[in-house]
Structure 1
Amino acid sequence: MTEQGKFARSVVGLSAVVIAVCAVVVTVNVVNAQPPRLLDQEAVERQVAATVRGGSDMSRDGVFCPTAMEAKKGNVFECSVAVGGGGTDFAKVEVVDDQGKLSMDKY
């Protein structure tokens, strides 16, 4: 029984070390995680308004874009814009680079 007791203590000790190492690895990964860079909501809505309304009205009134859009190349989303006469136009917006440069098309 003495041999079994030594073995059990060794397994418990080794398990504690493995758990401690895993906890350190998880902690380091969480601390080093960077939050995503988000687009400036106001600036995006003003650009969409200018694109859809022909540059004459950059007011954000009536412009609806998704919130918290990540400034990640290839990210695509749609915005709606209220236009005169009660109508609604739309713009497809694509993030062109990781710096937040946008390309948009009215449809």
Structure 2
Amino acid sequence: MTDQGKFARFLITLSAVVVAGCALTVTIKVMNTDTEALYPPRLLDQEAVELQVARAARGPKNPSRDGVECPTAMEARKGNKFDCKVLVGYNDKTVTVEVLDDQGELSTTAS
């Protein structure tokens, strides 16, 4: 009877060690997971950006997005900069856009 009790305690101890090892392995895997893959980057609203760029280049009286070319899928990350082209009359104007914060607040500079 005592041999069976010792064997049972050995199996319980071995099982606990195996479960702890598995838990440790899963924890290490989760901690090393790339968070970019889990949470894709926030992108700017393309239409809103083009409308703001049109207002910067043409003024508030002609806010049409027609003739505005901006890069697509721009990330809403502080410090991100990109240029848009705006057709004003027969000329192209370049508007530099800078993302001011992670919420998508923008600064535009027409040149």
TM-score by length of 1: 0.72
1:41 matches 2:46: yes
- Unpaired runs of 5+ in structure 2? 1-20
Q: Which amino acid aligns with 2:72?
A: T
2:56 aligns with: 51
Aligned length: 87
SS in 2 for 1:49: helix
Q: How large is the RMSD of aligned CA atoms in angstroms?
A: 2.5
1:74 aligns with: 79
Q: Which amino acid aligns with 1:76?
A: K
Q: How does 1:89-100 map to 2 (within 5 A)?
A: 89-100=93-104
- Unpaired runs of 5+ in structure 1? 1-16
Identity over aligned pairs, percent: 54
Counterparts of 2:83 and 2:61, CA distance in 1: 21
1:105 matches 2:100: no
Counterparts of 1:49 and 1:30, CA distance in 2: 37
TM-score by length of 2: 0.69
Q: Report which of the two structures shows the higher radius of gyration computed on alpha carbons.
A: 2
Counterparts of 2:47 and 2:63, CA distance in 1: 11
Runs of 4+ in structure 1 displaced over 4 angstroms? none
Specify which of 65, 68, 80 is matched with residue 70 of structure 2. 65
Counterparts of 1:78 and 1:56, CA distance in 2: 22
